[in-house]
Amino acid sequence: MLAKEALPQPNFFYGTAWKEERTAILTEIAIKTGFRIIDTANQRRHYFEIGVGQALANVYGAGIVKREDLFLQTKYTYQRGQDHRLPYDPKASLSTQVAQSLKSSLEHLHTDYIDSFVLHGPASGYGWTDADSEVWEAMKKERDAGRTRFLGVSNVSLEHLEQMISVQKEIPAFVQNRCYAQLGWDREVRAFCQKHNIIYQGFSLLTANVGVLRHPFVHKLATQFNVTPMQIVFSFAREVGMLPMTGTSDAEHMKQDLESLKLTLPKDAVLTIESLAG
Ligand SMILES: NC(=O)c1ccc[n+]([C@@H]2O[C@H](COP(=O)([O-])OP(=O)(O)OC[C@H]3O[C@@H](n4cnc5c(N)ncnc54)[C@H](OP(=O)(O)O)[C@@H]3O)[C@@H](O)[C@H]2O)c1
């Protein structure tokens, strides 16, 4: 069982999606600002993993951090989630694709192991399939060979998770999901994770919840604590047990996002936010 406290502090993910040629500089700034947990994917369509690797080379070279100070997470993405820039042979078996994808990630990130390897999304939106089981078995082999420490799944429903654990002996260490307040901040999946000691990584906490950021209750709290509505949302996410993720491209927002971890919201405020739109 992996506890959030066992991960590097601060417990906040810096997400590297959609940064293209700014990936390297922004990831470098994020690490200099204090982020130690980095999310990427070997999916060139949305991520520039080589840029993350450039940032790592720079911060190691400057003596800011060492590899072991960081928690690096990347993903295997099915072909349908990719464009033409594939990190594997699409004609190869899924097991081979998983191995090729991770091998290429290790090269991009200049390391011989990553901390977390995530299935970017199941093959079907309607349930856990045999293809997913083949991929999961291949991911376990990578973990057993020492190329990743932990495994995770992303973009999953409660149904996916229930079906997964009915056919797999091993459950993931992480679930990474988009978190909509309108869906009770993914309440059912979070409850499943809590029950099975899975760490829940919440993404798009801001972009998926514009209504919450504008809500008078959140504004009142922000004024009371002299913080921004975005900081209230990140603080809330931590207090309900999530490992929050930010995708900011702004150095000042990076600082604010980390600062939000210091804020402790009253329990009744947490409950109110949890029920704001769900
Ligand atoms: N597994 C998946 O399928 C999946 C899908 C999507 C994302 N992700 C991961 O999750 C990460 C985060 O996703 P996201 O970009 O949707 O998250 P997000 O943090 O909700 O959205 C980023 C947006 O929030 C703004 N922001 C962040 N901090 C702010 C602050 N303190 N004040 C004001 N604005 C702030 C950013 O603007 P500024 O740039 O101006 O700060 C940016 O427009 C991604 O980078 C990726 O690693 C995973």
For 175, the enclosing helix (H) or strand (E) is strand 174-178
User: What pTM value is reported for the model?
Assistant: 0.97
- Largest CA-CA distance found in the chain, in angstroms, rounded: 57
Ligand 1 pocket test, candidate residues 35, 38, 248, most atoms within 8 A of CB: 248
Which protein residues touch ligand 1 with a CB less than 6 Å away?
15-17, 39, 120, 154-155, 176, 203-207, 228, 230, 245-250, 253, 256-257
**How far does the centroid of ligand 1 lie from the alpha carbon of residue 48, in Å?**
15
Q: What is the DSSP code string of 176-203? A: EEE--GGGTTTHHHHHHHHHTTPEEEEE
Q: What is the pLDDT of residue 1?
A: 73
| HSE-up (13 A, CA, CB side) for residue 199 | 22
Residue nearest to atom 45 of ligand 1 (CA): 15
CA distances from 263 to 31, 48, 235, 260 (A): 21, 32, 6, 5
Is the bond preceding residue 87 a cis peptide, omega within 30 degrees?
A: no
Q: What is the DSSP letter of 217?
A: H
Q: What is the pLDDT of residue 47?
A: 98
**How far does the centroid of ligand 1 lie from the alpha carbon of residue 141, in Å?**
32
Taking the CA of residue 208 as reference, the ligand 1 atom at the shortest distance is: 20
Do the Cβ atoms of 244 and 205 come closer than 8 Å? yes
Q: Name the residue type at position 181.
A: A
Predicted confidence pLDDT, tens digits, the chain (278 residues): 788 889 999 999 999 999 999 999 999 999 999 999 999 999 999 999 999 999 999 999 999 999 999 999 999 999 999 999 999 999 999 999 999 999 999 999 999 999 999 999 999 999 999 999 999 999 999 999 999 999 999 999 999 999 999 999 899 999 999 999 999 999 999 999 999 999 999 999 999 999 999 999 999 999 999 999 999 999 999 999 999 999 999 999 999 999 999 999 999 999 999 999 75
Q: What is the pLDDT of residue 14?
A: 98
What would the pLDDT profile of 77-106 be if each residue is shown by its tens digit? 999 999 999 999 999 999 999 999 999 999
Taking the CA of residue 203 as reference, the ligand 1 atom at the shortest distance is: 10
CA distance 20 to 27: 11
Residue nearest to atom 7 of ligand 1 (CA): 203
What tokens were used for 11? 């417990």
CA distance 176 to 114: 16
- In degrees rounded to 5, what are phi and psi of residue 187? -50, -45
**How far does the centroid of ligand 1 lie from the alpha carbon of residue 167, in Å?**
33
Q: What is the pLDDT of residue 5?
A: 85
